[in-house]
Amino acid sequence: MSTPKTTDAPVHVESSDHLDELIADNAVVLVDYHAEWCGPCKMLEPTVEEIAEETDAVVAKVDIDELQELAREKGIRSVPTLQFYAGGEQVKEVIGVQSKEDLVDIIEAAA
């Protein structure tokens, strides 16, 4: 891999501006909208962590209870919701638990 990875772990998003910065500053970003009380979110968490470690995509984690306004702005109606950004633009959104293979395929297609 020629480009150094920005991070090997998911990034905890602290604000709407923070998320905008991550999306603007990185080629491919996977945004994981989740909640502490969400069972499927907990099931998806190890997969999301592996994707952060194994791909060049930056993985941003948004707690919808902590950042309710941001979740509303982005139209998040259920969790987990995963949004994929490439070159600053949203290219895909998936809702619910997905296989790691499917998520990696989306990232590779976006790269």
Residues 38, 94, 97, 104: which is the catalytic one? 38
Known catalytic residue at 2: no
Six-digit token string for 10: 């998911």
The answer to whether residues 10 and 60 touch, using CB atoms and an 8 Å cutoff, is: yes
Known catalytic residue at 62: no
Query: Which sign, positive or negative, has the C-alpha torsion 44, 47, 51, 52?
Result: positive
Residues 30, 41, 52, 59: which is the catalytic one? 41
Which residues are catalytic, by number? 38, 41
